[in-house]
Amino acid sequence: MPDRSFLSWPFFEPRHREYAERLDDWCAKNLPVDHHDVDAACRNLVRMLGDAGWLKPTAVDAADPAPLDVRTLCLTRETLARHDGLADFAFAMQGLGTGAISLFGEAHHKEWLAKTRTGDAISAFALSEPRSGSDVANMDMTARRDGGGFVLDGEKTWISNGGIADLYVVFARTGEAPGAKGISCFLVPADTPGLAVAERLEVIAPHPLARLSFENCRVPASAMIGKPGEGFKIAMSVLDVFRSTVGAAALGFARRALDESVSRVSSRNLFGAPLFDLQMVQGHIADMALDVDAAALLIYRAAWTKDMGAPRVTREAAMAKLYATDRAQSVIDKAVQLHGGDGIRKGHIVESLYREIRALRIYEGASDVQKVVIARQMLA
Ligand code: COS
């Protein structure tokens, strides 16, 4: 039985506690799904999550009293990740993909967010490029003014939902200034001529991922989200909201690994007694529990701070993501050790957690970049 005591922490309101319990019940009945065809599985998961109403928190809505509530986003990712990593992925990308529209693209709310919140459209966030992953301000892709609109040329890579998305939020250089101040943000529907999937990318925990090419890809002036030259700040503001949620997904994986380990060491005998009787095993369990609780505190501190109206939570979100993803890797590695051969057996939950966790220390700002962000905030 997973530890739910954290829900009584003061970061949460009664609505969060009720939501987390309801979602957990739904997950227990509906997840995991079959992952053999990842594209089909993701489409199916977006449909299921949308039909059940779980995608509503991913985007703002005029009727929503707490739009983009980061605690709800984190609770959702944590819970979904505990049950099915691909379900967490499907949820998370609906939010990351539309974050710029929610925060800066009011003109597009009606057309697109109504569809992504119900699962009728799939979204993607296209920031990284072959030559600039961590160094966002160094991007090559251009958006040239032409008549009444813009023409996009260049490549984006490591784009989650690449190939199955209906809309891409794309960052490109418009040249108002060198570096970070010369980038703008655009909404590009998947069927825009000139946008193509150049390559599908296979990774250790499969999910839809692609390199995209933009050749003479024409969009109207209304496709711009925010103002010219504001793209970098838009990207960073979106990451301010969603980085803590990556930590939350890692926390979900770590909790599952801890639960599986507790059950394993209490039910398996070694040298005539339960594995748990060995003090070295108790040491592992204690370390794992400590890592889980400390990560949860950092994540929900960041989420609560943002929900209370802080304009930026750059430091808090970076700390939450860095710590939770790094510690989850360690928790899951210990779980593999405690499971022996079963822990590396294909199809075992602990084996899949071991593959799932690795990417989280890389995407949405690698661990090393989070350290740069934290250090700079200390000097600011
Ligand atoms: N919110 C709002 N504005 C922000 C911001 C934030 N979180 N972070 C930076 N900015 C602003 C800065 O204030 C600065 O504006 P001013 O000069 O007006 O003050 C401007 O943006 C440029 O910031 P900075 O000088 O820090 O830019 P750098 O190019 O040095 O940024 C890092 C470096 C590493 C922080 C950035 O490139 C980064 O986060 N990289 C990781 C990217 C990432 O997560 N990629 C994954 C993509 S999604 S899978």
The residue whose C-alpha atom lies closest to atom 11 belonging to ligand 1 is: 233
**Ligand 1 centre distance from Cα of residue 173 (Å):** 15
Distance CA 184, CA 177 (A): 11
**According to the model, what pLDDT value does residue 1 have?**
59
317 lines ligand 1 (CB under 6 A): no
Identify the bridge partners of residue 218 per DSSP, sorted by sequence position: 151
380 residues of the chain, pLDDT tens digit each: 578 899 999 999 999 999 999 999 999 999 999 999 999 999 999 999 999 999 999 999 988 878 899 999 999 999 999 999 999 999 999 999 999 999 999 999 999 999 999 999 999 999 999 998 899 999 999 999 999 999 999 999 999 999 999 999 999 999 999 999 999 999 999 999 999 999 999 999 999 999 999 999 999 999 999 999 999 999 999 999 999 999 999 999 999 999 999 999 999 999 999 999 999 999 999 999 999 999 999 999 999 999 999 999 999 999 999 999 999 999 999 999 999 999 999 999 999 999 999 999 999 999 999 999 999 999 98
Q: Is the dihedral of CA 353, 323, 157, 96 positive or negative?
A: positive
Please tell me the pTM assigned to this model. 0.96
Which is the catalytic residue, given 155, 230, 316, 364? 364
* Substitution site in 236, 241, 370, 379 for ligand 1 pocket (most atoms within 8 Å of beta carbon): 236
**According to the model, what pLDDT value does residue 252 have?**
98
244 token code pair: 């803590």
Specify the ligand 1 atom closest to the Cα of 160: 49
Residue burial 162-184, b: 16+ Cβ < 10 Å; e: rest: bbbbbbbbbbbbbbeeeebebbb
137 lines ligand 1 (CB under 6 A): yes
Distance CA 261, CA 266 (A): 8
Q: How far from 377 is each of 315, 319, 371, CA to CA, in Å?
A: 6, 11, 10
**Ligand 1 centre distance from Cα of residue 137 (Å):** 8
Residue with tokens 């992504």: 116
Query: 3-state SS of 141-209?
Result: CEEEEECCEEEEEEEEEEEECCCCCCEEEEEEECCCCCHHHHEEEEEEECCCCCEEEEEECCCCCCCCE
To the query of whether residue 351 is one of the catalytic residues in this protein, the response is no
Distance CA 72, CA 294 (A): 19
Specify the ligand 1 atom closest to the Cα of 180: 22
**According to the model, what pLDDT value does residue 65 have?**
76
Instruction: Give me the torsion for CA of 126, 131, 136, 142, rounded to 10°.
Output: -70
Closest Cα partner for 148 from 233, 245, 221?
Answer: 221
**According to the model, what pLDDT value does residue 304 have?**
98
The residue whose C-alpha atom lies closest to atom 8 belonging to ligand 1 is: 236
364 phi-psi bin (left φ>0, alpha ψ -120 to 50, beta other): left
Q: Rounded to 5, what percent of the chain is helix, strand, coil?
A: 60, 15, 25
Q: Report the half-sphere exposure of 131 (CA within 13 A, side-chain side).
A: 7
